[in-house]
Structure 1
Amino acid sequence: MAYLIKEAVQFKELTKVALHNVKSEEFDIIEVLPLSNDGYCQALIDKVFEISHSEIADFIKHHLIYVKDKLHWINKFEKLVSVNESLFKKERNRTKLMKIITTAEFVRSSLKKPVTIKDIDSPAPRYINADSEERYFSFYKTQKDLEQMEDYCDQIIFLTNEKYEYEQANIHFINPKLPEYSEQCNKKIEHLQHIRRLQEELQVVKEEKCNYNKLQFNGNVNQLVDIFYQLSRELFVNGRSYLDGNVNDIAKMIAYSFVDKDGNKLSIETVKTILTPSREEKRPNNAKRIDVDKLL
């Protein structure tokens, strides 16, 4: 065998079929002689290297037809590929490995919702940006796949992997009437990131409209922020800081709760800068510092 597995994993259900029950000679693992779990794992890996990149999704969905616990099977299949990652050393196989992991994650997310996994026909040629030996690249189809993903991180990872696969592929056809595939992926990533920032900014506005008055601090802003810096970075009780939290959360809490001595709202970015350990010059000197340790 060209790709002998280094390690097997235990499947609860083996998607092997007898010769008279074959549904797809391309995807099915046909059992002629009794097949052990280890033999089944080897057969799965053999199939993985036989099929093309563009057939991976159909291959996974085909095997899910045979099992009751689809999540268990997809998890074990992904683990089998992961523990035998060393078989995917060649550059061409590295892209296949990424495709398998991305597809497995997408299918798993679909199963958890749960959503019926539907076969999606190949798009019309006019929607295909480019073609390679292994697969086609269609941003039209990529958009459709994105619409089924609700999680922002899943969308960014999916687009990043698509861009990587395109840039590594041996392209033999490019549709001159469509934008470059990787550039469309880039623009979509930027668009999603922009929407994310807008959502965060709008959330800030909503939180600022809470039904309570902010407290006015009549000293310098850096004195106020330094109090929280001391509590989170310099003062400890039972081995833990008095105030547990990251810089972003503490900065938001301060900005949402206080105004300066002139009644102006505080800038979250300014507060974050003062809270940053390396920006000592932004915090008050010893003469102007409010020493919290003496107050405790």
Structure 2
Amino acid sequence: MMQNFLLKEVATFEQFSSVKVSKDFNPLFDIEKKSKQSLNDYCQCLIDRSFSITHSQIPEFICHHCTLVADPVSWLNKFEKLLSLNDELFIGARNHNRHVKFMVSIETKRNKILDEISSHLKTKPAKKHINAESDDRYFSFYELKQDLMALCCDDDKIVLLTKEKFDYQQSNIEFLNINTLEYDKQCDKEIEHILALQVLQYEIAKKIAEKPPSEYLMEKITLHGPLNIITNAFKQMMTSVQPTGKPYIRKRIKEVADFLADNFVDENGNPLSKETLQTYLSPGRNDKDPNSDVMIKF
């Protein structure tokens, strides 16, 4: 029989969901298992089934095939790839919608399976850490705090807390731990805590931004000795001509005095006088130079 939707490319399925014909064989969904079924044959049958079922049957079709394989997530991944590789077959508005419906249904089913796996792997906390239990789940703020720590964004934390709060309020509680606070109230408290920290962080950042730049300057260096030792060192660098014909430092006396005053204090922590610094830096005031035995020579 001529096939209307010829396969363009195969996906490397590691497990086939085909079954032998029996009284339980579903002619709408099932693919007949043959003795020498090739990968190409199996993929073609899946494509044929993808077009033969109605839009409303797509989620059920996917769920049905997931029950026929050992690793449904792997099968879903391969089926998704098969549809992507052959998306050219889904031309036209109706078939495009069919393709979208398949992709959404695959994603939904895969997420559901992964969530179930995750919930089974998750170790239930000790009884003392469980606030309450309903007919289908438990509520542990101790566990919720750990989940919150894994989130970086405050908005995501608030969304999770709000969701948990309403899940609790809408559940039929069968067990309530009287030694813990009510779950929804703890969620509210945590939301208040997050919002309060946001306000505090904003105020701190605002206060820092308003500080003048001078407050961020590094701690000044303390001079343990006569002031004229450092001024003479700078004076030498300003006046002694190097082999290049230029002094080591080419700055005006006032600029050097400002630099020293801004970066140094005396041994008692007191600021240096700019007027005194300018006097000591003046080439004509050799009487303010230190004795030769303590002078720094260049």
The TM-score with structure 2 as length reference comes to 0.42
Q: Which has the larger radius of gyration?
A: 2
